[in-house]
């Protein structure tokens, strides 16, 4: 595997379900990110981890819970979601947390909440 | 106010035509970084270029070229002799040094369709 991988690629869940999204980066990077991409809206940064510590949380509802067990893996735990949470969830990584480093993205998980 | 504006929502061109995607940014920081990403139908954002605010030199990479002008706060992207494989959504993004963090502000994207 190379780059940034995400599983599953597609997920359909009911509002009472609990599920997790997984992201893995094979680039040796120190920072990882979760983004939400909804139709006709800019990408929204949700969470940022640098060296496994959360450094940014942009007022995301508590029904989204991130976990970063090591610098290569990032999870997004989902529970009691709402239909408006349906979106493409993208994971990214960068060599460092500083603003001059480009981010590399995974293919995303297309989430549908029914 | 939006930090990155991509006024062109959708563009269609015929193959082999040149096309320019516009990006206008807004920042008070003196040091900042501009990026372009391509998102093909597969969903993955592909990094294309990064530009530092202190380097206004234009860049060319194959059929791609970028025109950075601080005077107009623009960072436009031109594809020469477009191909069907160029069809994608293109995003311009900005990060600012003053934040000390890699917070990318994205535009809403321009969907480019290249017609064979």
Top-confidence residue, B14 or B59: B14
Distance from the B26 Cα atom to the nearest Cα atom in chain A, whole angstroms: 15
The secondary element (H helix, E strand) that includes residue B103 is none
- Given pLDDT bands bounded at 50, 70 and 90, which one contains residue B56? confident
Does A19 have pLDDT greater than 90? yes
- Given pLDDT bands bounded at 50, 70 and 90, which one contains residue A53? confident
**Cα separation of B80 and A16, whole Å?**
50
The three-point CA angle B75-B80-B86 to 5° equals 85
Looking at the DSSP bridge assignments, the partners of residue A90 are: A35
Q: Do A99 and B35 touch (CB under 8 A)?
A: no
Q: Do A97 and B102 touch (CB under 8 A)?
A: yes
Average pLDDT of the residues in A5-28: 95
Residue B107 touches chain A, beta carbons under 8 Å: yes
Q: Do B43 and A55 touch (CB under 8 A)?
A: no
What pLDDT score does A72 carry?
95
Q: Which of A88, A92, A97 sits opposite B101 (nearest CB)?
A: A97
The pLDDT tens digits for B75-113 are: 999 999 999 999 999 999 999 988 778 889 999 999 999
- Given pLDDT bands bounded at 50, 70 and 90, which one contains residue B59? confident
Within 13 Å, how many C-alpha atoms sit on residue B16's CB side? 1
**Cα separation of A75 and A54, whole Å?**
12
Which residue is closest to B91 within chain A, CA to CA?
A: A42
Does A10 have pLDDT greater than 90? yes
Q: Do B101 and A92 touch (CB under 8 A)?
A: no
What pLDDT score does A1 carry?
59
Residue B50 touches chain A, beta carbons under 8 Å: yes
**Cα separation of B50 and A1, whole Å?**
25
């Amino acid at each position: 595997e190379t780059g940034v991988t995400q599983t599953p690629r597609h997920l359909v869940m009911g509002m009472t379900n609990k599920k997790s999204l997984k992201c893995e980066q094979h680039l040796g990077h120190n920072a990882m990110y979760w983004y939400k991409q909804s139709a006709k809206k800019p990408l929204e940064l949700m969470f940022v981890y640098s060296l496994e510590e959360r450094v940014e949380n942009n007022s995301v509802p508590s029904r989204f819970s991130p976990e970063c067990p090591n610098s290569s893996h990032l999870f997004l735990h989902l529970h009691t979601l709402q239909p408006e949470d349906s979106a493409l969830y993208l994971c990214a990584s960068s060599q460092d947390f500083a603003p001059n480093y480009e981010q590399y993205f995974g293919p995303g998980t297309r989430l549908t909440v029914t | 106010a939006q930090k990155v504006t991509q006024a062109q929502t959708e563009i269609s061109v015929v193959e082999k035509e040149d096309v320019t995607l516009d990006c206008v940014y807004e920042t008070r920081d003196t040091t900042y970084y501009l990026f372009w990403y391509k998102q093909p139908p597969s969903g993955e954002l592909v990094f294309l270029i990064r530009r530092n605010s202190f380097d206004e030199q234009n860049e060319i990479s194959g059929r791609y070229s970028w025109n950075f002008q601080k005077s107009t706060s623009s960072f436009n992207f031109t594809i020469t002799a477009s191909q069907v494989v160029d069809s994608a959504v293109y995003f311009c993004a900005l990060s600012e040094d003053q934040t000390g963090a890699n917070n990318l502000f994205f535009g809403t994207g321009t969907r480019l369709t290249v017609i064979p």
